[in-house]
Structure 1
Amino acid sequence: MKRSPEGERGGGLEGGGPDGGGEGGEGTAERVMPAPPGALTYSAADEEKRRGVRRMKALATGLLLAVALVYGLAKWGQSAGAGAWTGYVAAAAEAGMVGALADWFAVTALFRRPMGLPIPHTAIIPTKKDTLGRSLGDFVGENFLSGDVVRLRLRTVGIASRLGTWLSRPEHADRVTAELATAVRGALTVLRDSDVQAVVGEAITRRADAAEVAPGIGAMLEKVVADGGHRRVVDLVCVRAHDWLVAHGDSVMGAVTGGAPGWTPRFVDRKVGERVYKELLRFAAEMRDMPDHPARGAVDRFLADFARDLQSDTDTRARVERLKSELLGRGEVQDVIASVWASVRAMIVAAAEDERSELRLRVRAGILSLGARMAGDERLRAKVDGWLEDAAVYVVTTYRDEITSLITDTIASWDAEHTSRKIEAHIGRDLQFIRINGTVVGALAGLCIYGLTRGLGG
Structure 2
Amino acid sequence: MRLVATGLLVLMAAIFLAARQFDHLHPAIGYIRAFSEAAMVGGLADWFAVTALFRHPLHLPIPHTAIIPRNKDRIAGTLAAFLRDNFLIPRVVARRMQRVDVARAVGRWLADPGAGRGRLRAGIGRLAADMLEALDQERLGGMAKRALAERLRGLEIAPLLGRALETAMKENRHRPLLDGIVHWAAKILDANEDMIRQMVHERSGSVMRWTGLDETLANKIIAGLAKLIGDMAEDAGHPLRTKADEGLAQLAHDLQHDPDKRARVEAFKNELLDNPALGDWWLGVWESGRAALLRLARDPDRVLSGELGGALRQLGETLQGDARLAETINRFVRRAAVGAASDYGDGIVRLVSDTIRGWDAQTITGRLENAVGRDLQYIRINGTLVGGLVGVAIHTADAVL
Candidates 73, 95, 118, aligned match of 2:61: 118
1:450 maps onto 2:380 in alignment: no
Q: Determine if contact 2:200/2:217 at 8 Å carries over to the other structure.
A: no
Distance across 1 between alignment mates of 2:6 and 2:195: 104
Gaps of 5+ in 2: 116-120, 122-127, 162-177, 225-239, 251-260, 293-304
For the pair 1:388 / 2:330, whether they are aligned, the reply is no
The whole-number CA distance in structure 2 between the counterparts of 1:385 and 1:377 is 12
Deviation at residue 101 of structure 1 after TM alignment: 4.0
- Residue 413 of structure 1 is matched in structure 2 by 358
* CA contact 1:95–1:442 (8 Å) conserved in 2: yes
1:238-253 to structure 2, matched below 5 A, reads: 240=195, 242-243=197-198
Which residue of 2 is the match for residue 277 of structure 1? 206
Mapping 1:211-230, distance limit 5 Å: none
1:440 aligns with 2:361: no
Contact 1:169–1:368 under 8 Å retained in 2 = yes
Show the counterpart of 1:43: none
Partners of 2:39 and 2:387 within 8 A in 1 = yes
The residue aligned with 1:398 is 343
Offset at residue 440 of structure 1 (A): 0.7
1:146 Cα deviation from its structure 2 partner: 4.5
Q: 2 CA distance for matches of 1:448 and 1:167?
A: 66
Question: What is the deviation of 1:242?
Answer: 4.8
Larger RCO (CA within 8 A; separation ≥ 6): 2
1:168 to 1:92, Cα distance in 2 relative to 1, 3 A? closer
CA contact (8 A) 2:40 2:384 kept: no
Question: 2:253 aligns to what?
Answer: none
Separation in 1 of the partners of 2:85 and 2:13? 43
What is the CA–CA distance in structure 1 between the aligned matches of 2:48 and 2:22, rounded to whole Å? 25
Which is higher, the Rg of structure 1 or of structure 2?
Answer: 1
- Whichever structure has more helix as a proportion of its residues is 2
After superposition, the Cα gap between the structure-2 partners of 1:235 and 1:293, relative to the gap in structure 1 and judged at 3 Å, is same
Partner Cα separation in structure 1 for residue 208 and residue 91 of structure 2: 87
From 302, 320, 329, the counterpart of 1:375: 320
Q: Give the corresponding residue for 2:87.
A: 144
Q: Provide the C-alpha distance between the structure 1 equivalents of 2:94 and 2:362, rounded to a whole number of angstroms.
A: 39
SS of 1:141's equivalent in the other structure is helix
Q: Which amino acid aligns with 2:55?
A: R
Q: Which residue of 2 aligns with 1:53?
A: 2
TM-score (norm 1): 0.48
Give the structure 1 partner of residue 50 of structure 2. 107
Q: Spell out the pairing of 1:64-79 with structure 2 (5 A cutoff).
A: 64=13, 66-67=15-16, 70=19
Cα gap change, 1:436/1:342 in structure 2, threshold over 3 Å: closer, same or farther? closer
Q: How many angstroms does 1:433 deviate by?
A: 0.6
Alpha-carbon offset, residue 420 of structure 1: 2.7
Deviation at 1:415, TM superposition (A): 2.8
- C-alpha separation in 1, matches of 2:198 and 2:15: 121
Indicate the residue corresponding to 1:31 in structure 2: none
What secondary structure does 1:399 align onto?
helix
Residue 162 of structure 1 is matched in structure 2 by 105
Contact in 1 for aligned 2:39/2:383 (Cα 8 Å): no
When the two chains are superposed, the root-mean-square deviation of aligned CA atoms in Å is 6.2
> How far is the alpha carbon of 1:378 from its aligned partner?
1.6
Taking a change above 3 Å as real, the CA distance of residues 397 and 375 of structure 1, as seen in their structure-2 partners, is same
- SS of the counterpart of 1:393? helix
Q: Give the Cα–Cα distance (whole angstroms) in 2 for the partners of residues 62 and 374 of structure 1.
A: 61
* Distance of 2:186 and 2:29 partners within structure 1: 125
| Partner Cα distance (1:392, 1:57) in 2 | 47
Please state how far the C-alpha of 1:430 moved relative to its aligned partner.
1.7
Distance 1:58 1:129, change over 3 A: farther
